[in-house]
Structure 1
């Protein structure tokens, strides 16, 4: 007999959406894939150089539990600059990507039955990690407030079992950036009700003017002792395949997370650590600026094409590199005598009729949304969005 928790894996498995899309894309050049969680890019030059240096030095030994002290120090300096507060290496754990950081946070914070507030639509790992830790995800709807949770709704959902609030900005899948007022009120609520804040800012490098990403501790420094920062280099440096990120927070939490990490995933790849450290020490942000320009150009192109949609609002796409289509009003206006169609149906039609692979909002807890990634080359993006718009505008 398998452990009871294995029943969660099927329920939490979101890979099917991507697997189907990628299988279709692999079978024919006709399919353009807009499902990706990444920016299509070459390797950052300083990361490449750091990799070669590490290999030429025959670095192949495990790093100390931590992992690399110098890398933790470099990340602490980065967080200090972003938040305006001094951070030390003892407040940083290097992880195998942001999912690993979220897992560590859930496992060291939550007791069975503890509740965690999660705004919807949400990245799939948030409820998954809560459930695996024995917690209870409590979902907060955001559509009626432009995908930003109302602090009053969060406050109304707090019970004696509530342990934490998940804050994901820029948001995946919606691309929404939380404003300073909302972040301030969330921090105040956390202080009043003695809650943790899990602050996921993995898309923070991509905020599109006039919108600005605000690390929550830069505007609510008093929340530091109750805030965990989750981030990775997968997006900002286009290193999705490297799986390297970090968890930052109070030293007691980081100590517990590292103790857990010692007996589970251990340390991220040693070559990745040295390569990333070389990049951070170089102070070279030319590559990241290049990525930001590409994403900005893709966003401008995409919004221009999506503005031709007749009954679907143009997505805000304030940050990150995803467009999120709100289908609710359009689905209601096109409802016919037959069975009501869902976002899953829309995704299937776009795949088969338009040749465009997208992601249904149902995996993000929203049956009225479709997510499109624009981290691809501009030519393919132009073609994909024109096909998509034509199909949705002639929906029957």
Structure 2
């Protein structure tokens, strides 16, 4: 008689899980952190966050909430008073009326975008996505059963145009995703572009997901334009997505929101009630505090810092041959075309592709960048210039030195 234990069986993951991969930003962060733990001085250009401490108004509101034990469950899509305050603020800045039942508070903008995909898309629905894109956009669309339809924007200064959208339309088109100021390129969509797309979406009865998480971070003389503000009839077909993470330096606090027609918000309520439930109560009270007191001084301070950082970055990169950048008009990214360096040799080794280049920059130059392959652009890398000034100069000096050592034909 055999009394041995049966062998363990390895059961497969779902097909959905097998298609998922980690975001390139988090993968590069992990690699950079591993080198740091080994004692290597790595400059991390991969993180999409400010080097600032959190907005003081939000810190004070969070501290007050903690001191007064406001740490219980809230409604799944946020505190009623926060939703009301957000509705007032969006109404004021857009010039179009929003009510509290048209607002959902979420665990960061990423959850707002996921909710939108899940409640608006059916299997097979097509969604127009500009390339390069923030890599979460197509993944969430696919998780919802949708089909991303990619539109290359490199020839149009990295902006989606009305003509390009028109060309990409099919009978299955259900949605357009617009992100301005843009991650990863840093471009800001111009008024005429947005107005044309708005009218086209309205005429074809398409949903528009309008991600404006970097709206407060724009380099002069450029301006951010809200698509609903430009064309009010589109409100009933639009999901506005915003966040406190970038502008208030609270990326880890996970508080964002969606503005959409009341039936869409009601569906998001049901979905969020079965997934995460409410965002952090402390983060919600912090967000409410910033809306009640506002913090224009903090935003001005951040933008003044980013203006100087961009100037320093462009000065450093001006000495690097064989690269060019997308127009750096907003957010805090430089999207650098390195295609002329791909296929070149570094210390005798051929640089196979942009992922190989990113790995070499990390292991040899000790700087972490985001390869554009994860954004649909295999010719570019993304760096954040929101790091501390000393790190910016040091990192870009290393980058320039490394790129000068690549032998091209």
> Equivalent residue for 1:309?
320
Say which of 321, 338, 348 aligns to 1:327: 338
Deviations 1:263-305 (A, max 9, x none): 1111001111112211210123222221121112111111111
Structure 2 residues not aligned, in runs of 5+: 1-11
Q: Are the equivalent residues in 2 in contact too, given 1:8–1:132 (CA < 8 A)? A: no
Q: Which among 207, 219, 230 is matched to residue 230 of structure 2?
A: 219
Q: For structure 1, which segment, 23-32 or 75-84, has the greater mean C-alpha deviation from structure 2 after superposition?
A: 23-32
Match in the other structure for 2:32 = 21
Could you tell me how far apart the structure 1 residues matched to 2:351 and 2:365 are? 21
The superposition leaves residues 323-355 of structure 1 with CA deviations (integer Å, 9 ceiling, x where unpaired) of: 1101234547x5899866311122122222222
The 8 Å contact of residues 112 and 134 in structure 1, kept in 2 or not, is answered as yes
User: 1 CA distance for matches of 2:298 and 2:26?
Assistant: 30
Distance 1:369 1:32, change over 3 A: same
Q: CA deviation at 1:32?
A: 0.8
The answer on whether the counterparts of 2:181 and 2:188 sit within 8 Å (CA) in structure 1 is: yes
TM-score scaled by structure 1? 0.95
1:215 offset after TM fit, Å?
A: 1.0
Q: Which residue of 2 aligns with 1:241?
A: 252
SS in 1 for 2:364: helix
* Higher CA-based Rg: 2
User: Is 1:266–2:244 an aligned residue pair?
Assistant: no
Distance 1:11 1:131 in 2: 15
Cα distance change on mapping 1:141 and 1:58 into 2, 3 Å: same
| Count of residues paired in the alignment | 395
**Any conservation in 2 of the 1:25–1:33 contact (CA below 8 Å)?**
no
- Aligned with residue 108 of structure 2, among 97, 113, 136: 97
Q: How does 1:81-92 map to 2 (within 5 A)?
A: 81-92=92-103
Q: Equivalents in 2 of 1:315, 1:226: separation in Å?
A: 30
Alignment deviations for residues 47-86 of structure 1 (CA, whole Å, 9 cap, x no partner): 1111121122112221124310111111112211221112
Contact 2:210 2:227 in 1 (8 A): yes
Match of 1:137 among 141, 148, 154: 148
Does 2:267 match 1:256? yes
| Residue aligning to 2:216 | 205
Cα deviation, residue 312, structure 1: 0.9
Give the 5 Å matches for 1:107-126.
Answer: 107-126=118-137
Matches within 5 A, 1:1-396: 1-10=12-21, 15-331=26-342, 334=344, 341-396=352-407
Distance 1:20 1:363, change over 3 A: same
C-alpha spacing 1:308/1:36, structure 2 compared with 1 (3 Å): same
Secondary structure in 2 matching 1:5:
helix
Between 271-280 and 4-13, the greater mean CA deviation after superposition: 4-13
After superposing the two structures, state which structure 1 stretch, 74-83 or 174-183, moved more.
74-83
TM-score normalised to structure 2 length: 0.92
Q: Distance in 2 between matches of 1:125 and 1:365?
A: 11
2:3 maps to none
Question: How far off its partner does 1:12 sit?
Answer: 6.5
Q: 1:52 to 1:381 in 2, by over 3 A?
A: same
CA contact (8 A) 1:326 1:369 kept: yes
